[in-house]
Structure 1
């Protein structure tokens, strides 16, 4: 089944921590500076990130017995 392309969130949604609201993406997009800037794009229920940033944060574990934990791929031991 082909994967659907996820659109990149608009930069118009970007916001600061004090203005961040429920169901807004918490992915930090600022390049430093005095205040963190968050994506602010719309999130799905139960997610901290919009679909665009979620695909960057989570990766599918490779086949072959790698252990996965909390969304991160851990290398095989031994």
Structure 2
């Protein structure tokens, strides 16, 4: 499990793009070539990802001098 105790979403919620509804996770769990499959777990207001996938996608800025940018680590340019 990841740093915090966030439960992994159930595979039963997985769905296709055309079947996604509001407040369903848009994290792509597989791409079989013809059709992407999305997590479909419940999201919090204003988020595209469920708590499980959100903590996978977003990282904390490191103290190594990398510049943080909108939740993602942006490497320094040489």
Q: TM > 0.5 between the two?
A: yes
Normalising by the smaller structure, the TM-score range is 0.7 to 0.9
RMSD (Å), alpha carbons = 1.5
Higher strand share: 2
- Structure 1 residue ranges, 4+ long, deviating more than 6 angstroms after superposition: none
1:7-28 CA distance string (max 9 Å, x none): 1000000001111000000000
Query: Which ranges in structure 1 are unaligned for 5 or more consecutive residues?
Result: none
Aligned residues: 76
TM-score relative to the length of structure 2: 0.85
For structure 2, the residue ranges without an aligned partner over 5 or more in a row are none
Scaled by the length of structure 1, what TM-score is found?
0.85
Once the two structures are overlaid, the 10-residue window that deviates more, 66-75 or 36-45, is: 66-75
Kindly provide the CA deviation profile for residues 6-64 of structure 1, in whole angstroms up to 9, marking residues without a partner as x.
11000000001111000000000114231111000000000000000001100000125
State the secondary structure of the residue aligned to 2:29: coil
